[in-house]
């Protein structure tokens, strides 16, 4: 490595260390520190980085104070949790918060296409490839985007409190439901609930026609089972812009939008972002 290149790299490092990554926001999401919820933790400082379970956490400046906006996984234990903060001068400290219990009820669904419950070997190859793609999109961290925490429902339909349901397909236990289902007729338009950049689109085994929309700083939303996808990866969309239409592609029992909200690589209850 040349000396010039080393100096450039060193300068880049210094710039990134001193860059305070908090974004100014005009509203916060609803706080609900339960598994599948959100903890809003005052940092009482100006941290430049925050981590929870090794994932980078969104730092927001709201009315002159800084907060770590922490997504809590559905699998989280009840009790004390910690977020680690780093300041630009290299100090590190820990803030604790309590996660309280929430009971999520059981849901039993019958799927007539049994391959969608017990996929064959070829299906598994496809499923593993697709989950890697989705994992990568969900771990995106784009600091050029300004996350917005207040969202309008992405589709006009019947919202159920379906997030977190402990699911059984054809009496077999599966992962808990990580989004909100909004029932609507096939073809009903779906709108971006907040501005962002389309991170990925695809036709996935379980999720059907899917969009992953990146709002910045780890706030990322997912739209599944769509009839049509009206956007392409890399496109910038504004709040209220149509991104697709409701369908019944993938593993479904009828037409609906499955909508997930991701914070620090964790699926949290979308209802905590809704304003209406």
Is the CB of 181 or the CB of 269 nearer to Zn ion?
181
Closer CB to Zn ion, residue 258 or residue 267? 258
214 binds Zn ion (CB under 5 A): no
Question: Near Zn ion by CB under 5 A, which window of 38-46, 180-188, 194-202, 244-252?
Answer: 180-188
Q: Within 10 A of 51 (CB to CB), how many other CB atoms are there? A: 18
Task: State yes or no: residue 49 binds Zn ion (CB under 5 A).
Answer: no
Stretch in the footprint of Zn ion (CB under 5 A) among 129-137, 143-151, 177-185, 206-214: 177-185
Determine how many CB atoms are found less than 10 A away from the CB of residue 160: 14
Nearer to Zn ion, 51 or 258 (CB): 258
Q: Which residue has the tokens 């379906």?
A: 162
Stretch of 20-28, 70-78, 175-183, 200-208 contacting Zn ion, by CB under 5 A:
175-183
Q: In the bound complex, what is the minimum distance in angstroms from residue 259's beta carbon to Zn ion? A: 8
Measured from the CB of residue 175, what is the shortest distance to Zn ion in angstroms?
11
- Dihedral of CA atoms 200, 206, 209, 210 in degrees, nearest 10, equals -30
Which CB, 66 or 162, lies closer to Zn ion?
A: 162
Using CB positions, name the residue nearest to Zn ion: 258
**Least spacing, CB of residue 237 vs Zn ion, in Å:** 22
Of 137 and 197, the one with the shorter C-beta distance to Zn ion is: 137
Interaction mask 25-44, Zn ion, x per CB under 5 A: --------------------
Lookup: tokens for 247 = 């369908």
Site for Zn ion in 123-152 (CB under 5 A): none
Least distance in Å: CB of 257 to Zn ion?
8
Asked if 258 is part of the footprint of Zn ion (rule: CB under 5 A), the reply reads: yes
Toward Zn ion, which CB reaches closer, 21 or 213?
Answer: 213
CB nearer Zn ion, residue 179 or residue 218: 179
* Interior/surface letters 64-83, b for 16+ CB within 10 angstroms, e for the rest: eebbbbbbbbbebeeeebeb
Burial class (CB in 10 A: 0-12, 13-18, 19+), 116: middle
| Residues in contact with 254: Cβ distance below 8 Å, sequence separation at least 6, in sequence order | 183, 248
Number of neighbouring beta carbons within 10 Å of residue 63: 9
Beta-strand ranges (E) seen in 15-78 are 23-24, 38-42, 47-52, 55-56, 58-62, 65-71
Count interface residues toward Zn ion (CB under 5 A).
3
Which sign, positive or negative, has the C-alpha torsion 260, 266, 271, 275? negative
- Minimum CB separation from Zn ion for residue 181, in Å? 4
Q: Which is nearer to Zn ion, 43 or 178 (CB)?
A: 178
* 181 sits near Zn ion (criterion: CB under 5 A): yes
| Of 155, 158, 218, 211, the residue nearest 188 (C-alpha) | 155
How far apart are the C-alpha atoms of 142 and 163, rounded to whole Å?
Answer: 26
Q: Name the residue with tokens 């890399």.
A: 234
Residues in contact with Zn ion by the rule CB under 5 A = 179, 181, 258
């Amino acid at each position: 490595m040349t000396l010039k290149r080393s100096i450039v790299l060193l300068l880049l490092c210094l710039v990134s260390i001193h860059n305070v990554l908090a974004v100014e926001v005009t509203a916060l999401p609803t706080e609900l520190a339960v598994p599948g919820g959100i903890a809003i933790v005052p940092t009482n400082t100006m941290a430049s980085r925050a981590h929870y379970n090794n994932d980078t956490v969104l730092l927001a400046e709201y009315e002159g104070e800084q907060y770590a906006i922490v997504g809590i996984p559905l699998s989280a234990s009840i009790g004390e949790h910690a977020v680690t903060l780093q300041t630009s001068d290299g100090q590190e400290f820990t803030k604790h918060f309590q996660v309280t219990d929430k009971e999520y009820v059981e849901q039993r669904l019958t799927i007539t296409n049994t391959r969608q419950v017990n996929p064959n070997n070829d299906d598994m190859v496809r499923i593993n490839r697709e989950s890697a793609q989705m994992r990568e999109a969900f771990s995106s961290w784009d600091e050029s985007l300004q996350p917005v925490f207040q969202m309008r429902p992405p589709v006009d339909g019947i919202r159920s409190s379906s997030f977190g349901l402990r699911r059984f397909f054809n009496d077999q236990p599966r992962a808990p439901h990580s989004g909100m289902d909004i029932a609507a007729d096939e073809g009903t338009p779906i709108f971006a609930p907040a501005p962002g950049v389309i991170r990925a689109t695809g036709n996935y085994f379980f999720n059907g026609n899917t969009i992953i929309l990146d709002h910045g700083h780890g706030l990322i939303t997912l739209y599944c089972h769509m009839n049509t996808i009206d956007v392409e990866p890399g496109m910038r969309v504004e709040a209220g812009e149509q991104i697709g239409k409701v369908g019944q592609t993938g593993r479904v029992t009828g037409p609906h939008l499955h909508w997930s909200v991701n914070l620090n690589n964790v699926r949290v209850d979308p209802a905590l972002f809704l304003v209406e």
